[in-house]
Amino acid sequence: MNRTLPIVLAVALFMEHMDSTVIATSLPAIALDIGTSPVALKLALTSYLVSLAIFIPVSGWMADRFGARKVFRAAIAVFVVGSILCAISGSLGAFVVSRFVQGMGGAMMTPLARLVLVRATPRSDLVNAMAWLTVPALIGPMVGPPVGGFLTTYVSWHWIFLINVPIGIAGILVAGRVLPDIEGEADRKIDWRGFFLAAVAASGIVFGLSVISLPALPPVFGVTAVIVGAIAAIAYPFHARRTQRPLLDLGLFSNRAFASSIYGGFFFRVGTGATPFLLPLMFQLLFGLTPFQSGLLTFVTAFGAIGMKFIASGTLRRAGFRTVTIASAALGGLLIGANALFTSDTPYVVIAVILFAAGLARSLFFTSTNALVFAELSDKDAAQATAIASVSQQISIALGVAVAGGLLEIVQAVTGSGLDRTAFVVAFGIAAIASVLSALFFVRLPANTGSLVSGHGRRGANRDP
């Protein structure tokens, strides 16, 4: 396998995933500098997520129409421009708009990176390639908080955005040389009605859940947005059935491997999406750690994610998609539940070992399901598959954070004792159950599902290279 291609794509995705979390620790400093409050500035987090939700559904059409390499490079450029605008913003309005521009670029980067990889990689090498591409999604959220805290404390908050400029420029130049030039279809027309429905559905749900979990606006705005988004989501399938080439082809769900990876991945990400929100809060509010110390401790998960990259392919070759997805989902969920057992007296070594194991399990699950999405689909369906998978991921992660935040609020209201250990035990417990339940979606998969991709059951597949 040509490792240069997935590494180039992974670096771009790392920039996007890290940036989406690095801002969280810098909100107070940014708010003070531009003359607003940290609560109001949370609108910038929401505007970024809404931009992702709006433009991810159209990423597949953009790739098919203009060519994946061209659009991917343009997406990096838009992301860099948005980063510069964020760094020079002097007001709340300017900052919110700048984050929206960043989101436009980020919305294209993740699905198009997967699409390029799928179309340029032989199916037998897809698991290895996906393993490289999965790492940024796991490391970025862990690196973001400590990097943001360090730059804000010792340099300036502006640099959490400016560091994207040289990385992005290098990515554009290298991608132009490394990525294959996959031509687009000049006659591919966009499904405007489908785009409107998909954009309203995804952005409404993500915006609503974000407002509910990050109360920068009254909760009624969040609830209303979720309802509007849900109505659009219900309306979309009726439109898709009457359209010859819908923006998102729901007919792909007739493929059992694809459907299992989307549904199972959704539940698993609800649990894992809650974890990066809950752990830093618990470490800082209950254990008394500083943001930097908390970030260093949670970063251990990233080492597990990197370590799994080297054994994911062999694991899938020996056990197959069905066994691996069931086992990694169950183990990943149980390890989320283990976080509820932490106390201020728990040795850091024990916490680090559990977080490292969690990183291994999550990385194996994400690598497996990301490859399973395409395992039994043709290349012509890859653009549709990437868009659907990316929309599902954004909604599930937003739901995970909203559920975690909501549970903390509910437990506080019921017990009347503030944000104590009981609230975190309940939140981690529900997150763990959601992740464990994801295993049920893979139970009915045939044992040989995706064997061309995993190599399981094929001649010589169980021999070490």
Higher pLDDT, 25 or 113: 113
| C-alpha–C-alpha distance, residues 202 and 456, integer Å | 36
What is the band of 152 on the pLDDT scale with cuts at 50, 70, 90? confident
Stretch 203-222: mean pLDDT: 80
Tens digit of each residue's pLDDT (9 = 90 or more) over 384-395 = 888 888 888 878
Q: What angle (nearest 5°) sits at the alpha carbon of residue 264, between those of residues 261 and 268? A: 125
Q: Which two tokens stand for residue 113?
A: 């990176």
The predicted-structure confidence for 362-378, as pLDDT tens digits, reads as follows 989 998 998 899 888 88
Amino acid at 332: G
Q: DSSP code of 247?
A: S
How much is the average pLDDT of 152-176? Answer: 86
Q: Which residues lie closer than 8 Å to 105 by C-beta, 6 or more apart?
A: 16, 75, 76, 77, 78, 79, 80, 81, 82
Residue 417 neighbours by CB under 8 Å, 6+ apart = none
153-179: string of b/e by CB count within 10 Å (b at 16+)? eeeebbbbbbbbeebbeebbebbeebb
Question: Is the separation of the CB atoms in 366 and 137 below 8 Å?
Answer: yes
pLDDT digits (tens, 9 = 90+) for 334-348: 999 999 999 989 999
15-23 mean pLDDT:
74
**In the numeric block, which tokens belong to residue 285?**
């509010």
Torsion-angle region of residue 35: left (phi > 0), alpha (psi -120 to 50) or beta?
left
User: What pLDDT sits at residue 330?
Assistant: 96
Among 73, 80, 139, residue whose Cα is nearest residue 108 = 73
Contact of 197 with 232, CB cutoff 8 Å: yes
Confidence at 44, pLDDT banded by 50, 70, 90: confident
What is the chain's length?
465
pLDDT tens digits along 443-453: 999 988 888 88
pLDDT tens-digit map of 22-37? 776 677 788 888 888 7
pLDDT at 24: 66
The whole-number average pLDDT for the span 226-233 is: 94
pLDDT of residue 254: 92
Mean pLDDT of the chain: 84
> How much is the CA Rg of the chain, to the nearest whole Å?
21
* pTM listed for this prediction: 0.81
Q: How many CA atoms lie within 13 A of 427 on its CB side?
A: 30
Q: Residue 21 pLDDT > 50, yes or no?
A: yes
Query: What gap in Å lies between CA 455 and CA 458, rounded to an integer?
Result: 6
